Amino acid sequence: MVDKNSLQQPWVLGIDGKWLHRQGVIMIYRDVTNRTNLYWSFHLSESYTAVEKDFERLNPIIKSNLPFGVISDWKGAIVSSVNVFLTSTIPHQRCLSHVQRQLLRLLPLRSPIPATQKLRLIAKMVPDIKTFEEKYYWISSVNYWILKYENLLKEKTIGVGTKKKWWYTHGSLRQAVKLLTFDEKHLFAYLDYPYIPNTNNSLEGSNSQIKTKLSNHRGMKTPQQVIYLFWLFTFRRVKNRQDLRKLWDSLKTKFCRF
């Protein structure tokens, strides 16, 4: 008989970046199930090379207990690295808070176009879908909208005196539709795997605290901000005296080298 305590509990890896005034980005890799930051790094951009290097360093930390799922904002570099280092079969949820924010930027509140207003209402429903029935109803609403306004999506503007000969008149509307219909498997992975959250709110909350901390120290330049945040993340991992002793032992060894 298998001991229940010996079984690995399912946990989810959350990935997000916090930009520092466009001077670089702090990448955070977090166990969102247990609310613990596992690894963090600083890069000039969220490039494929940067995220791959992070995964090379993250893998030894999680190799004995791999995540049962991933949630991220679905940047290409993150998706690629998850597929390479954790296999493409792992359920990967696209953060619906990020999706909704993107959609609301593409579908302005005061748009005079009725089709945009109707699609905006559909877009606002995304994070609130809790059941398969609600999911199918929502997908039907999207498909009905596309069927009704298909001609609007194909409408083109002919360029006069411009480098481009033509472009889609309602480009933002097309982008919004593409985002809504891109891949429902990753929009609604949380319905098939209930232990996966549908938003990255755990990391969003952490990023909000970072913003507050940096706001309280406005005079710091980017390198100072990075050092400050790295120390902040490090000491947040300290839960008891034993953790503090381990931290000091590791730092003491490094200091002694100098």
Domain 9-95+200-258, CATH 3.30.420.10 — does that match? yes
Q: pLDDT of 166-200, one tens digit each? A: 989 999 999 999 999 887 788 999 999 999 999 98
The average pLDDT across 19-29 equals 89
Q: pLDDT of 49-95, one tens digit each? A: 999 999 999 999 998 999 999 999 999 999 999 999 998 889 999 99
Confidence of residue 215 (pLDDT cuts 50, 70, 90): confident
Instruction: Give strand ranges (E) for the chain.
Output: 12-19, 25-31, 36-43, 69-72, 92-94, 156-158, 166-168
Q: pLDDT of 143-174, one tens digit each? A: 999 999 999 999 999 988 788 889 899 999 99
Show the tokens assigned to 142.
């999207």
Tell me the one-letter amino acid at 173: L
φ, ψ of residue 70 in degrees (nearest 5): -135, 145
Q: Name the residue ranges covered by the structural domains of the chain.
A: 9-95+200-258, 98-182
pLDDT value, residue 131: 95
